[in-house]
Chains A and B, each alone.
Chain A
Amino acid sequence: MKVWFYRLGSPKWFYEISERWLPWLAWSSLLLIAVGTVWGLLFAPADYQQGNSFRIMYIHVPAAFLAQSCYMMMAVAAVISLVWKMKLCDLVIVAAAPLGAAFTFLALFTGAVWGKPTWGTWWVWDARLTAMLILLFLYFGVIALQHAIQDKVASARATAVLILVGVVNIPIIKYSVDWWNTLHQPASFKLTEKPAMPAEMWLPLLVMVLGFYCFFAAVLFMRTRNEILDRERRTQWVRELVKKVSSR
């Protein structure tokens, strides 16, 4: 068990394993997202209240899920990195942060686009959008700190501490923003508040969510592999890999 755990932390092992997983993830994500998009945009029934504009949900909801899951994943990686000093986790955090920020931005953007036909403005300060905006700020902070520290190990550790401080704050922020929202907007619009979504509506959503997760994993693997090559460039196995590639 312990051997497995330490092997899990070896960048070289991850590089080899991810090589095999990557095509599966990439193709699955492509397939799932294509199916989900077509299904959601064309075949799912129109919402009786919002007409066709609600279809943006098929992008907004998966993006929002991923924005939050990515941060949670980074928090887990941060704990492992600080406690067990596993280098792979440092690299995963570096790879994941801009990805998570991108998903958060996508969620915000699609949330705004959804808002325009629904209540006439490009932005509204409702609880969920505002909490998502604050999550984007947290991501920006992580990315900024990462780039500000030169030493790679110190940068990884500092980022890990910041992520953990952020993760403790996320429930507090959610709670505060919800309360703040009730102070100011007695009737708040909830973006995914539907009394009961029929299967024809949530099945494509599920497909999209799965597709987004596969996409996230695929891109994360690719970015992590790049980080591994960069960080481990002095080791034997990377040099041999480069020799192999360059002699083709």
Chain B
Amino acid sequence: MALLRVEGLTCERDDRVLFQDLSFEVGSGEVIQIEGPNGAGKTTLLRILGGLLQNWEGELYWKDRPMSEVRTEFLANLLYIGHKPGVKAVLSPLENLRAWSALHEPVSDEKLMAALARVRLTGYEYVPCGSLSAGQQRRVALARLYLSQAPLWVLDEAFTAIDRSGVEQLEALLAHKAQRGGAVIMTTHHVLNLPGALRKIRLGKVQETPEVLEEGDLL
């Protein structure tokens, strides 16, 4: 069954048409990678899917119902990790996860510590995130992947600042998620190694319609 369906999505930003009439479906068990050159609108597309942006045309459907009707249910089923991971610098990884999980589902501290262990932050649980490296901070956000039951994951540049073994681990996690019937929509510059489940959608520069006027035409 299609979890998320996009129909006729058109978005214009800063006088550039990012994409026009884009339609696709995301079903259970799929990992979709949105790819394209820088500035092609990958992040914009993800933000539209998450419902963060408003200046677009088209239709979004969650489980075959219009998004406007089921938005709360959609949000309850979504885990979104954006470009900026949402990690507070003055709080420790444990405190960050505690605050996040208090909003979503109650999780014991042991489970939080276990998730931090999975992202190899053992020993750093009580250090203020501001003192951690960029990669470590991103791993605090990625720890949510081990805690969330949400069927749909939307990940923007999830692999940023992650080292080789972290990448392998994340790929395994994504594959496992797809196997269990979840779905992932992501962007990354990294070359993904996910046999079978991966589908790619390419965004590119929309053909610029040629200018009607030459310089000096209206004199």
Contact = CB atoms under 8 A, between A and B. Distances in A.
Determine direct contact between A and B, CB below 8 Å: yes
Contacts of B217: 246
Interface residues of B, number: 12
A150 B17 CA distance: 16
Interface string B128-152: 0000000000000000000000000
Nearest to A247: B217
Contact of A239 (B14, B17, B212, B218): B212
Contact of B55 (A152, A234, A239, A242): A152
A2 to B, nearest CB: 18
A73 interface: no
Contacts of A243: 212
A243 B210 CA distance: 14
Interface in A144-185: 150-154, 157
Interface string A227-248: 0000000100001001101100
Interface in B1-55: 12-15, 17, 54-55
A9 to B, nearest CB: 14
Contacts, number: 23
Contacts of A152: 55
A239 to B, nearest CB: 5
Contact of B212 (A153, A154, A157, A242): A242
B213 interface: yes
Interface of B: 12-15, 17, 54-55, 209, 212-213, 217-218
12 contacts: A150-B14, A151-B13, A151-B14, A151-B55, A153-B55, A154-B54, A154-B55, A234-B12, A234-B15, A234-B17, A242-B213, A246-B217
Contacts of B209: 234
A239 B217 CA distance: 13
Contacts of A245: 218
B contacts with A: majority SS: loop
Nearest to B54: A153
A157 B54 contact: yes
Closest 3 CB pairs of A and B: A153-B55, A246-B217, A246-B218
A204 B65 CA distance: 60
B213 A246 contact: yes
A150 B13 CA distance: 10
A169 B55 CA distance: 29
A243 B209 CA distance: 15
Contacts of B213: 242, 246
A239 B213 CA distance: 9
A62 B181 CA distance: 68
B56 to A, nearest CB: 9
Nearest to A233: B15
Contacts of B218: 242, 245-246
A245 B219 CA distance: 10
Contacts of A234: 12, 15, 17, 209
A150 B14 CA distance: 8
A86 to B, nearest CB: 14
Contacts of B54: 153-154, 157
Nearest to B17: A234
Nearest to A245: B218
Interface in A203-243: 234, 239, 242-243
Contacts of B14: 150-151
Nearest to B13: A151
A243 B13 CA distance: 25
A151 B12 CA distance: 10
Contacts of A153: 54-55
Contacts of A239: 212
Nearest to A157: B54
